[in-house]
Amino acid sequence: MNEVGNVWTRRGFVKALSALSIAGNSILKINAADSSKESWGRDSGNELAERGNQNYEPWRQSAAWQARVLPRFPDVLVRPDQVRSIPDILENASRRGKVISIKSGGHNVSEAFLRDGSVLLDLGELQDIDVDPVSQTAWIQPAAWSYSLVNVLARYGFAFPVSHCASVPMGGYLLGGGIGYNHDNWGTVASDLVLAVEVVLADGQTVVATRDKHSDLFWAARGAGIGFFGVITRFKIKLVSAPPTVIESSYVFPLSALADATTMLQDWVSLSPADTELMMLLAHDPTIDKAARGIETKMCVVRAVTFAEEQAARATLNSLANHPAIKHAVFDNRNVTTSLESMQIASVDPGMGLGYGRYAVDTIWTDKLPQVMNMILNHFSNTNSARTHIVVSPKQNRELSSDSSFSMVGNAFVGVYAVWDDPLQDISTDKWMDGVRKLIHPLSVGQYINEVDAFNNPESVQNCFTLEAWKKLRALKKIYDPNKFFADYPDITG
């Protein structure tokens, strides 16, 4: 059964956000009339803008999810309306000696899809979700949103470990691994549930890679992230049964009790079954009057979400509630029944003010969480934006698949997300992020390819892979893309 995945399209979503008075990028209907699209393929459905066309800059601006659009300028932007146009577009780009950069949803923090002089293949219209309830699988196109997938699958009683944020599309997310809901139970990362990828290669040929066919391409497509060497047009994914209930408990601590909260989070890891997702958030308390003095305006939330039978879920949450550190919590919200759909909607709740805006990220895997939190505490208190936040996610299941290039994991994931609005704060925020890096990187075991600033810190790319996986990725690049037709990881030689 084929469904158009855009239950909420990106444009519809941005409109909805605007209605909520959240600043966003303006998305314009592209008028291709002033472009030379005839020279770019037979398909009249393609939209196109060359640099200098009046529709170019609005399109480039709207390609990025965030408000800080980096000054990198493709020569041409092309949006195919169907997959069969892609080989033609590649052929045209190749004839003109252009490199291809690819965008599914534009969420990548380093905006790796924006490459000077490239042809940007914008796959934003490819959002179909095609569910086969009998085999419990689905074919999904790369721009299908997390929210759309959750919504469509719910109708069939299925689920998938989508991203924690509604607008994240499946393309870049799965290509880099994907750390989503219930990640310790539904695979180690979401790409563990990818059964096949349909890829258009540099020579225009389309292949379907699986564990048995084109297995090295299949290996690469599950973890390589922004350095992948082909256009992924569809993923075949294995679906999981929808959880019988989703129940969560949250405990809010003042930031001064961060050490206690961290101890509780770590103790919970050994107390929780794998179908419990644990998380800690350091954020500005949205309920506090920002002008008030003498009170803490930053908080730390420790949260457990269970995806299990109701009785077992409640038993888990009740046992976690016995932890002695809970006496330091100033507020709690226990045993609240929720759902994947509700959590997706809450992920864009303007009340917390965490989303949209200008955005910089650094992430690490660490085996030394208490030390990292200790290092970060003062630095976090000095952030220049009340929207900046830090997410900590312990990784209970660290079993990595041997047929996947996703190869780096640690005991805990720490993501530092600077979010601000004023362009005049760009420099000071970048400096603040550099300060974070200096503090936490010596305590890291690796990084996560989907959330590194690969252009400002190109060395971070290799930190996302074991040496063995890295060497294999570089060797495969030479085989599948010897002329470097597809944009590579930044600043890479060889």
Ligand X SMILES: Cc1cc2nc3c(=O)[nH]c(=O)nc-3n(C[C@H](O)[C@H](O)[C@H](O)COP(=O)(O)OP(=O)(O)OC[C@H]3O[C@@H](n4cnc5c(N)ncnc54)[C@H](O)[C@@H]3O)c2cc1C
Name the residues that contact ligand X, by CB under 6 A.
65, 101-108, 112-113, 123, 142, 163-165, 168-169, 171-173, 175-176, 178-180, 226, 228, 231-232, 355, 450-451
Signed CA dihedral, 420, 252, 369, 335: sign only? negative
In Å, how far are 88, 198, 367, 422, 464 from 201, measured between CA atoms?
Answer: 12, 10, 38, 41, 24
Calpha distance 52→139 (Å, rounded): 37
Strand partners, 121: 78, 102
Q: How far is the CB of 370 from ligand X (least distance, A)?
A: 24
**Pick from 224, 47, 235: which is nearest to 124 by CA?**
47
Q: Which contiguous run of DSSP H or E holds residue 19?
A: helix 10-19
d(Cα 439, Cα 424) in Å, to the nearest integer? Answer: 25
- Shortest Cβ 197–ligand X spacing (Å): 9
- Locate 85 and state its tokens: 């146009």
Closest CA to 82 of 121, 38, 32: 121
Residue 370 to residues 327, 376, 404, Cα–Cα distance (Å) = 19, 10, 30
Q: How far is the CB of 334 from ligand X (least distance, A)?
A: 24
Q: Which is nearer to ligand X, 220 or 299 (CB)?
A: 220
User: Counting beta carbons within 10 angstroms of the beta carbon of residue 270, is it exposed (0 to 12), middle (13 to 18) or buried (19 or more)?
Assistant: exposed
What whole-number distance in Å separates Cα of residue 461 and Cα of residue 255? 32
Q: What's the min distance (Å) between Cβ of 303 and ligand X?
A: 14
The minimum distance between CB 143 and ligand X, in angstroms, equals 7
Token pair 């932890």 is at which residue?
323
What is the nearest approach in angstroms of ligand X to the Cβ of residue 217? 12
CB of 59 to ligand X, least distance (A): 14
Which has the closest alpha carbon to 313: 337, 291, 280, 282? 337
> Between 432 and 455, whose beta carbon lies closer to ligand X?
455
| Cβ at position 374, least distance to ligand X in Å | 25
Q: Which of 312, 270, 301 is nearest to 396 (CA)?
A: 270
Closer residue to ligand X (CB): 173 or 380: 173
Min. distance of Cβ 203 from ligand X in angstroms? 16
* Residue closest to ligand X (Cβ): 172
Q: Which residue, 172 or 243, is less far from ligand X as judged by CB?
A: 172
Q: What three-state secondary structure class fits 327?
A: helix
Nearer to ligand X, 417 or 432 (CB): 417
Residue 186 or 260: which CB sits closer to ligand X? Answer: 186
d(CA 101, CA 404): 23
Q: Would you say 203 or 310 has its CB closer to ligand X? A: 203
* 277 or 285: CB nearest ligand X: 277
Residue with Cβ nearer ligand X (65 or 314): 65
Q: How far is the CB of 458 from ligand X (least distance, A)?
A: 14
Q: Which is nearer to ligand X, 149 or 231 (CB)?
A: 231
β-pairing verdict for 128-132 and 2-4:
antiparallel
